[in-house]
Amino acid sequence: MSATATINQPQTAKAVSQLDQLKQFTKVVADTGDFATLKEYAPQDATTNPSLILKAAQMPGYKSLVEKAISDNRKPGVSGEALLGQIMDDLLVLFGFEILKIVPGRVSTETDANLSFDTGALVAKAHRFISLYQKQGIGRERILIKIASTWEGIRAAELLQKEGINCNMTLLFSLAQAVAAAEADAKLISPFVGRILDWFKAKAGKDFPPAEDPGVLSVREIYSYYKKFGHDTEVMGASFRNKGEILELAGCDLLTISPQLLAELKASTEPVERKLDPASARAGKIEKIPVTEQNFRWLLNEDAMATEKLSEGIRIFNADALKLKKYIAERL
């Protein structure tokens, strides 16, 4: 299908929602821990993060999962931080297990933000998640381990991918991070479209139309680079602020979308035009980037937006993980 292809809707046929049109050339992923949302919008995959799990865990409907995680880990000799850590891991996997009863594809489960600069600890955490899922009868092919796109995180993904454990590189804001992740053979990356827009809006003091959105342009550049240089790593646009950003990336490998924006797409029957496709991307003029550790750190340092948003994202996810830990501790 060409880059300008649209889904034709016969006048006599029932109008097709933008969500269903989008699904014809992009894998739609739900960015939520709310099972009801998953059932309503029928995504292929689902992603979670500490902020989403914190929100979901406090909903009355999911109280039983919190109670199960606590009761399953009450054992003699285990207390304090060790107990809380075990409960947290179990709770994340319990949410993932329930999600996989609904979606036909994969679920992303996120590693601790405070491990973002510790390769060995990230690998160990991934092994723990895979083991917990296996106890629930879930194979590793249905799991994506989410890891922040630091140099250490990318090295952890490289080791895990060699073991057949697939990784989703999150908190990704730059081409340098994307290239390093692809060269490590990460299964998937999640460039944060909306957070990039947030930074540029704050700096410029103005909004940007979807076609000129800095986050959209970043994902287009990464997509083109991957297709031109033959990288198999999947590109999943994430963290959207408006429906326009999503439509400008129609044709991207995957898009992970919040419940609010899924609802907007489902409510509209306006035509959806495919904006990204591999053939057009391969024809681009983008140059290959060498990514050694030194070059990676330099390119990231020179990109103020990526440096600031990566650090901020790690802090936010860690803060929400601590809130979730406190919420659990109050119920022990």
Write out the catalytic residue numbers: 146
Q: Which of 146, 140, 41, 52 is nearest to 95 (CA)?
A: 52
Tokens 């080791």 label which residue?
159
Question: Do 73 and 93 form a contact (C-beta atoms < 8 A)?
Answer: no
How far the first Cα of the chain sits from its last, in Å, is: 55
Rounded Cα distance between 324 and 316, Å, is: 12
> What sign does the CA torsion over 238, 240, 243, 245 have?
negative
* C-alpha 210: how far from chain center: 21
| Helix axes of 80-100 and 304-329: crossing angle, nearest 10 degrees | 100
184 burial level (CB within 10 Å; 0-12, 13-18, 19+): buried
Half-sphere exposure of 326 (CA within 13 A, CB side): 6
Which distant-in-sequence residues (6+ apart) come within 8 Å of 2 by Cβ?
Answer: 274, 277, 279, 280
In DSSP terms, 255 is beta-bridged to: 28, 237
Rounded Cα distance between 215 and 238, Å, is: 10
User: Where in 149-271 does DSSP place strands (E)?
Assistant: 167-172, 188-191, 234-237, 254-257
Enclosing H/E stretch for 144: strand 143-148
